[in-house]
Amino acid sequence: MNRPEHKRVIISGGGTGGHVFPAISIANALRRIDPGIELLFVGAEGKLEMEKVPAAGFRIVGLPVAGINRKNIFKNLQVFFRLISSLRIARRTLKEFRPHAAVGVGGYASGPVLRQAGRMNIPILIQEQNSYAGVTNRLLAKKASVICVAYEGMEKYFPAEKIILTGNPVRQNFDDLQAKKEEALKFFGFSAGLPVILVLGGSLGAGTINRCLSENLEAMRNSECQWLWQTGRYYYDDVRKLVPEQGDKISVHSFIDRMDLAFAAASVIISRAGAGTISELCLVGKPVILVPSPNVAEDHQTKNAMALAAKDAAIVVPDSGAGKMLVDEALKLMSDNGRRNTLSGNIIKMAERDADARIAREVIKLIEG
């Protein structure tokens, strides 16, 4: 089989940072392997990828696709027409771009693109991040040539002969964060004299975590800690009303682009337990308190979190109990240097490095046959 002069790859999916940033990492890894490669993203209109992908230097096409509305079945008629339109746009995009391979990372936009790619006999690679396979990826597995996973035991969802264990790609290299600490503290306007607790709820935000902190602002201000709080875009305006001024030990952000500096500043991290987030936290190697979201399929965030807790690599606070426990648990951990060292040492042992490069190599193999 002749090698194409310029390889072309289409990458589809998104919706949240958990899909978008791994996709960008795979694209960057493909460029490192083959600087001449042509890459095109396809995402969902109005979602995070439409902002973050161009910011990373890649082209993107938006589809009007939307997810099924489980609360209002009448809205699903509109979803159906959006899907038909998205399938048409996806097919036109594939015909114009003529990719040698299609990569799906999950999320709404993966479905139309990979479905049409399968019909056009374009080789497909799926990247599944979670221990519980998403609906889109399960439906598309039959057409895929390769399925890259981050957990063992995924044969219950996908054909075993297609599975390759690669780990989850992360946003960037988080090595040597200590060297960035001074820069990080200045960047966020923090004092070097007090430790920082970083609070993350994902790109969209976590209602329970935001509510818990909002109800414990006095304890946070009275603590000997500084708080770096990513609210997510859905909650930012409400939180900003409660914390109108930056610099009062609490720094509030809708979204943090410089996560390397956020992690460098942090002494303790509070976070949800999405698969991509956990992959990053393992590389970062800081003490972590996980609050798994209950609003996910098969409660997979709890499974992700308990896998770390079983190795004494994280503290798990249930979503239902976070309101009373979370801030107290964070301050208790800040006062226990030995416990922080234990958690830090154990979580970094679980780090999977170079997942993006492994997946990129599989894409190249798929193209070259």
Which CATH number characterizes residue 335's domain?
3.40.50.2000
Same domain, 109 and 163: yes
pLDDT of 203 strictly over 90: no
Let me know if residue 308 belongs to a domain. Answer: yes
Helix (H/G/I), strand (E/B), else coil: 359: helix
Let me know if residue 272 belongs to a domain. Answer: yes
Same domain, 255 and 327: yes
**321 band by pLDDT with thresholds 50, 70 and 90:** confident
Same domain, 223 and 283: yes
Let me know if residue 24 belongs to a domain. Answer: yes
Same domain, 93 and 112: yes
Same domain, 136 and 187: no
pLDDT in tens, 149-186: 998 889 999 999 999 999 999 876 677 899 999 999 99
The CA distance from 56 to 93, in Å, is 21
Mean predicted lDDT score pLDDT of the chain = 91
The residue ranges of DSSP E strands in 224-362, in sequence order, are 226-230, 250-253, 268-271, 288-290, 315-316
The CA distance from 260 to 295, in Å, is 28
Largest interatomic CA distance in the chain? 68
How far are the Cα atoms of 10, 170, 281, 355, 360 from residue 28, in angstroms, in the given order? 13, 11, 20, 12, 9
The CA distance from 93 to 122, in Å, is 13
Same domain, 158 and 197: no
pLDDT in tens, 79-101: 889 999 999 999 999 999 999 99
Same domain, 122 and 201: no
pLDDT of 4 strictly over 60: no
pLDDT in tens, 256-310: 989 999 999 999 999 999 888 999 999 999 999 999 998 877 788 998 899 899 9
The CA distance from 300 to 100, in Å, is 33
